[in-house]
Chains A and B, each alone.
Chain A
Amino acid sequence: MNVKQLSVFLENKEGKLKSAVDAISSKGINIRALSIADSSKYGILRLIVSDNEKAIKALEERKFVVKETDVIVVGVKDEPNGLNSVLEVLEEANVNVEYLYAFVSTQVDEAIVVMKIENCKDVVPILREKNIKLLSKEDIDAI
């Protein structure tokens, strides 16, 4: 139940983010979720989009470096302790979260969390066992 996220290298310069987003949206590709990690000189733009293949092509045409990364996307209850309950499961299983970011769902009581975890495959069964809602590509497309 892994989802492929796109990661794009961005220099911390005026217009860079716009150029990347523009490359994608001009091809009619929808950005589902987005997050930026940054240092003083550069950043990593992380995206969940409707069509990876097209998006990669569009970004590479504009000379961006793009990578596909496996991430886990989970739906958590939009209430106190919602995210914590997921993290608890991961902590118990000694799983390290490299980074995560969240976005809102069309369902009022749910938030969606994207997590980068080492060895995604091993983690999926653990989350399943604890009844954590894992979202597939199709689920995300439906949002």
Chain B
Amino acid sequence: MIWNEEAECMSREDKEELQLALFQKQVKTVYEKVPFYKKKFDDAGFHPDDLKTLNDVKKIPFTTKDDLRSAYPFGLFAVPEDEIIELHSTSGTTGTPVVSGYTRHDIDVWGECTGRAIWMAGGTKDSIIQNSYGYGLFTGGPGIDHGAKTTGAMVLPMSSGNTARQMKMMMDLKCDILTCTPSYALYIAESLEKAGYSPEDIPLKAGIFGAEMWTEEMRKEIETKLGLKSHNIYGLTEMMGPGVAAECDEQNGLHIQDDHFYAEIIDPDTLENLPEGETGELVLTTLTKEGMPIIRFRTKDITSLNYDSCPCGRTTIRMNRITGRSDDKLKVKGVLVFPSQIESAILQVDGVTANYLIHITRPKILDEIEVKIEISPETFSDEMRNLETLQRELEAKIHSAIGIKVDVSLVEPESLPRSEGKAVRVIDDRNLDK
């Protein structure tokens, strides 16, 4: 079922006309209300009146994550604070978090977008949604919650964790839609299996999974084990949260809610817009956001766009599964990790040098990080237990820095790969582009 046929099945022409009008209004608003954008536009020689067609969008300067950080916490708000009714924040693991503010209208839009996602997954007013995304500053739980309330589906605000209770509620209440990260979905699936349930016993019909990268292989496994159809969902706190895009039953790309978000693909090196269908970095603009409008945000997510209309009847453009990040940020177990964090953690240990390699794998379901660290004359000991102590100390330091458990392997000096004199820091063997 299509939640909003008018918006989701609009002809491309009408959609582009709508997008242009909204874009023009948005750049005018930020130019007038947000000093940051006035300066940014002025510096780039762009004036809101220059936006005459969607082709002119490429003249507008980009907004980066650093811009958002520098404006922390409320520097990019386009309305007085009393109009903001909800706040969310990124985790801020790298220092300054990004705070996103929502007006009542923005929350309505959010509910509309995640509501469309719920309907794409086959949701109805009779659905019971087991919402196992985290509730809190994280946008996952509240985003789905808003969508359920907008559409009138019933939501069970489980939040994440306590899997025994998740299973009990799922069985007792006969939840038909599960929303959580794909890795948690698999974890629940395996827990159900261990508890003796077969897929036929599980009441779920659909799942809406996102907030981390996952593969088609993982999708098949989740679908088989839980006996449901899974739907990828995409979003980011800077834009709104989950619901920017989501998959219909075709499972062939995520429909971007393009009456609320304008999507482009750029080459992350040249920053030029790429032709339709080519793979590059996704750039998004909030077309309707009031609280904190963001213009041409460089998401760093690598994907491509498909403008063909979908057999499901929707005409909204579709983005493919995210296959990577355009910079060195790593998303491991759903958490954003920076090599620099690991570096500063290991350097806290006496004698340890910055010769390390982060090796990420996904042997089964969950990501695993191995950090290989070269031993030095200072850290080498003739006694095994000293080396083991060193290894544990490094593991503890990294764990406290990034919040994820890692395996430290001590390796021989100069054994880690180096290219053009610069050490290779990260090897990601997760095969996420399957």
Contact = CB atoms under 8 A, between A and B. Distances in A.
Interface stretch (B72-80, B160-168, B360-368, B410-418): B410-418
A39 B384 contact: yes
B326 to A, nearest CB: 33
Given A9-B375, A65-B377, A67-B377, A116 B412 contact: no
B383 A65 contact: no
A137 to B, nearest CB: 18
Interface residues of A, number: 21
Given A9-B375, A39-B388, A63 B412 contact: yes
Nearest to B411: A11
A44 B412 contact: no
A7 interface: yes
Interface string A29-67: 000000001010110101000000000000000011111
Contacts of A44: 382-384, 387
Interface of B is mostly: loop
Q: Which of B382, B383, B409, B415 counts the most A-chain CB atoms under 10 A from its CB? A: B382
B410 A9 contact: yes
A138 interface: no
A67 B380 CA distance: 8
A46 B381 CA distance: 11
Chain B interface residue bracket vs A: 10 to 19
A37 B384 contact: yes
A42 B381 CA distance: 12
Contacts of A73: none
A5 B414 CA distance: 24
Given A9-B375, A65-B376, A67-B377, A42 B411 contact: yes
B388 to A, nearest CB: 7
Interface of B: 375-377, 380-384, 387-388, 409-415
Interface of A: 5, 7, 9-11, 16, 37, 39, 41-42, 44, 46, 63-67, 69, 98-99, 116
